[in-house]
């Protein structure tokens, strides 16, 4: 009793002193206050501190932080308690001192959180942060790890450009960030799919005199795999061994994944089998290795094999994780075996693994694809009952599901609801809606969505712009398309898809000069593909420029990789329109020689044209032939040729007719 009275008296005295000190601090007084505060913090007397929070001045705070640098956890608790105080939130300097201490004490996660908070919630620019960190470093906390952490914080909030600026600014000041920071930056570029910039930055890094470490090599392999450059990836793999690195499981896994992405499952298998021997027993396959392989088989349309690998894993005593199950489940569902997917999911639940958002999203997606909207919404409510809440993926899946089933208005309603709830984070849902609105000839509706994105502060991405541009091009509103394009290039680089859309627009409106100069520009930028030339080819065919069409076709064939099935479809259609059926059929054989197979468009083209000119017998012969080649006729095919019903009434034929309708 006596003690507590005494203590409270002392406390009052001190509080009064602090309030006084705020207005008029005699020399040395701040030192006394500092000591007093620090003692109270060390004893975790938080209530006391709450009372004098208004006395925490901007000059006092850094001193408190430095005083307590040996007890980072205590310091952090103090910061969290006074974080809302104006003097704290307004003083970037004190926060930076705290960050430096956290890095020094190897509390990297805390330092990262603090940095991200300052940049996101309080709006500090990365370069401002850098300045503040440097000036707080002057007073005794210099550490390059702080700068590494800043680069990492930038990449984690998606500010790749800022990360680079930080690295460059430091370079100008004679400070080299570590190879780890570069690796982090490079890895982020790959994650956001900017392989081009990845290589440019890698070259720059080497130019500055850095040497690759194990992680850098892994990233190089990954980048090459992403570009389906498997032989090059393998050669980097050998190069890293040659310079003395022992590849770890991550490197092997990237090769396995890369081989799968390049559709070379045999190689993927071989790598998995050889990990042990290649590493002389130091490295063995892990769950990720098998997950990559399983994913490869699922994407190749062989979920049964994926299921077998899953069983084999269990046999080997390796525990499949939720990603293993999620991948196989999605594999079954995407290959038309939703039931198998559900079965496997219950098996997973029996093994005490609870379905997560990715699994729900996958099921909802494939149910939507099957047209089972009510099944999808049932699953969605089941998911939410289980306290798993929709994310951006779910939103996109549902909105696209509704659109593709003809319920664009429903999709718009859902989208508005999501906006009302403030749940929109990325451009995906908008992109889907814009695309569907454009497709249903409602470009003005699409434009409204784009404008609303700006109002909401949601940044449209290249796909948003690309979709909008394509919409305008298809609606023959080239001026609007160019307007959007001009807006876009203020922030984003145009990509090949966008150039192709614009080219198609120019071709369709007959602007020969504009399309030629665009083609020249695309060639200069080395940005063109089969679609580019198919667009041009079909335009030549449409306006009857025979010579140009044939020349282009010949040149494309000479270039080898530049022809595909669509190229042949365009040419076959062209020849048919000219009445040259003989040649059209020859082109069909040529198509086979190139390993290309006809599709329903080839079918429709040939049969509708043949029907008018040739005998019934010939038409039926062509029909049988194309079906034997594996062509699956679609509704359009059926509608195009069903009128002369007499072409075939065999049971098989009627069966597919019925299947189509």
Partner DNA sequence: ATAGGGTTAG
Fill in the per-residue mask, 196 to 215: x = in contact with DNA (CB under 7 A), - = not in contact.
Answer: ------------------xx
Q: Is 38 in the site for DNA (CB under 7 A)?
A: no
What is the size of the binding site for DNA (CB under 7 A)?
A: 71
CA distance 85 to 78: 11
- Segment interacting with DNA (CB under 7 A) among 8-16, 375-383, 563-571, 608-616: 563-571
Query: Please, which of residues 497-516 interact with DNA by CB under 7 A?
Result: 497, 500-501, 504
Indicate the angle between helix axes 357-369 and 338-350, nearest 10 degrees.
160
**Residue (33 or 223) nearer to DNA, CB:** 223
Least separation, in Å, of the C-beta of 601 and DNA?
A: 10
Q: Cβ closer to DNA: 21 or 355?
A: 355
Can you list the pairs that 472-478 forms with residues at least 24 positions away whose Cβ atoms lie under 8 Å?
Answer: 472/443, 472/505, 473/501, 473/502, 473/504, 473/505, 473/508, 474/438, 474/505, 475/438, 475/441, 475/443, 476/505, 476/508, 476/509, 477/443, 478/505, 478/506, 478/509, 478/511
d(C-alpha 25, C-alpha 347), whole Å: 72
Convert 512-531 to b/e letters by CB count within 10 Å (16 or more is b): eebbeebbeebeeeebbebb
Q: What share of the chain is helix, strand, coil (3-state, %, to 5)?
A: 75, 0, 25
Residue 224 in contact with DNA, rule: CB under 7 A: no
The dihedral formed by the CA atoms of 86, 87, 88 and 94, expressed in degrees to the nearest 10: 160
x/- mask, DNA, residues 593-612, rule CB under 7 A, reads: --------------------
- Around Cβ 553, how many Cβ atoms within 10 Å? 22
For residues 136 and 333, which CB has a smaller minimum distance to DNA in the complex?
333
| Residue 55 contacts DNA per CB under 7 A | no
Strand boundaries in 229-327, DSSP class E: none
Residues 285-314 interacting with DNA (rule: CB under 7 A) = 286-288, 291-292, 295
Q: Which of residues 37, 133, 181, 254 is near DNA by CB under 7 A? A: 254
* Residues 68, 74 contacting (CB under 8 angstroms): yes
For DNA, the binding residues in 257-286 under the rule CB under 7 A are 257, 286
Residues 157, 119 contacting (CB under 8 angstroms): yes
Q: Which is nearer to DNA, 177 or 359 (CB)?
A: 359
| Closest to 90 measured CA to CA, from 52, 124, 64 | 124
Segment 314 to 373, residues that bind DNA, using CB under 7 A: 321-324, 326-327, 330, 356-359, 361-362, 365
Each residue 396-425 as x (binds DNA by CB under 7 A) or -, in order, gives xx--x-------------------------
Contact with DNA (CB under 7 A) among 135, 382, 476, 495: 495
Closest listed residue to residue 338, CA positions, set 364, 316, 309, 299: 364
We find the least distance from the C-beta atom of residue 71 to DNA, in angstroms, to be 27
Q: Which residues contact 124 (CB under 8 A, 6 or more apart)?
A: 92, 118, 132
| Pattern 229-248, DNA, x by CB under 7 A | -------------------x
**Binding window for DNA (CB under 7 A); candidates: 11-19, 35-43, 375-383, 564-572:** 564-572
**Of 21 and 296, which has the nearer Cβ to DNA?**
296
CB of 493 to DNA, least distance (A): 12
Residue 152 as a binder of DNA (CB under 7 A): the answer is: no
Tokens standing for residue 560: 């080898």
């Amino acid at each position: 009793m006596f003690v507590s009275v005494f203590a409270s008296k002392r406390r009052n005295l001190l509080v009064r002193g602090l309030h006084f000190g705020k207005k008029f601090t005699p020399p040395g007084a701040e030192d006394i206050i500092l000591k007093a505060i620090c003692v109270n913090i060390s004893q975790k007397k938080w209530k006391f501190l709450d009372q004098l929070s208004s006395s925490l001045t901007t000059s006092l705070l850094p001193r408190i932080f430095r005083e307590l640098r040996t007890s980072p956890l205590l310091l952090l608790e103090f910061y969290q308690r006074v974080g809302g105080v104006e003097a704290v939130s307004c003083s970037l300097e004190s926060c930076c001192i705290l960050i430096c201490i956290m890095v020094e004490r190897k509390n990297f996660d805390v330092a990262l959180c603090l940095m991200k908070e300052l940049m996101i919630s309080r709006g500090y620019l990365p370069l401002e942060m850098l300045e503040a960190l440097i000036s707080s470093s002057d007073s005794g906390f210099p550490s390059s790890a702080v700068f590494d952490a800043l680069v990492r914080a930038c990449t984690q909030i998606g500010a790749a450009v800022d990360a680079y600026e930080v690295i460059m600014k430091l370079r100008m000041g004679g400070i080299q960030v570590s190879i780890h920071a570069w690796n982090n930056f490079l890895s982020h570029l790959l994650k956001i799919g900017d392989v081009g910039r990845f290589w440019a930055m890698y070259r720059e890094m080497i130019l500055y005199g850095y040497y690759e470490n194990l992680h850098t090599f892994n990233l190089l392999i990954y980048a090459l795999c992403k570009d389906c450059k498997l032989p090059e990836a393998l050669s980097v793999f050998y190069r890293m061994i040659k310079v003395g690195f022992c590849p770890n499981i991550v490197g092997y896994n990237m090769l396995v994944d890369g081989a799968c992405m390049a559709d070379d499952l045999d190689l993927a298998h071989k790598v998995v089998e050889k990990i042990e021997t290649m590493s002389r027993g130091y490295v063995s396959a892990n769950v990720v290795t098998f997950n990559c392989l399983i994913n490869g088989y699922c994407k190749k349309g062989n979920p049964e094999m994926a299921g077998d690998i899953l069983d084999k894993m269990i046999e080997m005593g390796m525990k499949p994780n939720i990603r293993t199950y999620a991948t196989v489940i999605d594999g079954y569902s995407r290959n038309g075996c939703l039931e198998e997917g559900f079965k496997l999911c219950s098996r997973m639940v029996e093994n005490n693994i609870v379905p997560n958002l990715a699994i729900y999203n996958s099921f909802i997606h494939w149910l939507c694809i099957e047209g089972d909207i009510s099944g999808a919404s049932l699953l969605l409510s089941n998911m939410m009952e289980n306290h798993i809440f929709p994310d951006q993926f779910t939103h996109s899946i549902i909105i696209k599901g509704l659109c593709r089933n003809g319920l664009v208005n429903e999709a718009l309603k859902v989208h508005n609801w999501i906006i009302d709830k403030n749940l929109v984070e990325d451009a995906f849902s908008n992109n889907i809606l814009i695309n569907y609105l454009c497709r249903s000839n409602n470009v003005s509706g699409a434009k409204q969505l784009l404008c609303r994105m700006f109002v909401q502060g949601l940044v449209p991405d290249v796909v948003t712009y690309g979709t909008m541009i394509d919409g305008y091009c298809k609606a023959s509103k080239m001026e609007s398309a160019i307007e959007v394009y001009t807006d876009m290039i203020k922030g984003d680089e145009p990509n090949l898809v966008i150039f192709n859309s614009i080219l198609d627009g120019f071709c369709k409106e007959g602007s020969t000069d504009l399309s030629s100069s665009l083609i020249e520009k695309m060639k200069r930028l080395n940005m063109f593909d089969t679609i580019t030339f198919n667009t041009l080819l079909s335009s030549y065919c449409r306006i009857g420029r025979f010579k140009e069409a044939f020349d282009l076709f010949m040149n494309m064939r000479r270039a080898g990789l530049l022809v595909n099935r669509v190229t042949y479809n365009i040419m076959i259609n062209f020849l048919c329109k000219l009445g040259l059926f003989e040649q059209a059929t020859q082109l069909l054989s040529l198509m086979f020689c190139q390993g290309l197979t006809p599709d329903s468009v080839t079918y429709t083209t040939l049969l509708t044209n043949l029907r008018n000119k040739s005998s019934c017998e010939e038409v039926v012969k062509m029909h049988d032939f194309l079906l034997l080649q594996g062509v699956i006729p679609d509704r359009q095919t059926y509608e195009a040729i069903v009128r002369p019903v007499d072409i075939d009434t065999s049971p098989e034929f009627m069966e597919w007719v019925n299947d189509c309708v």
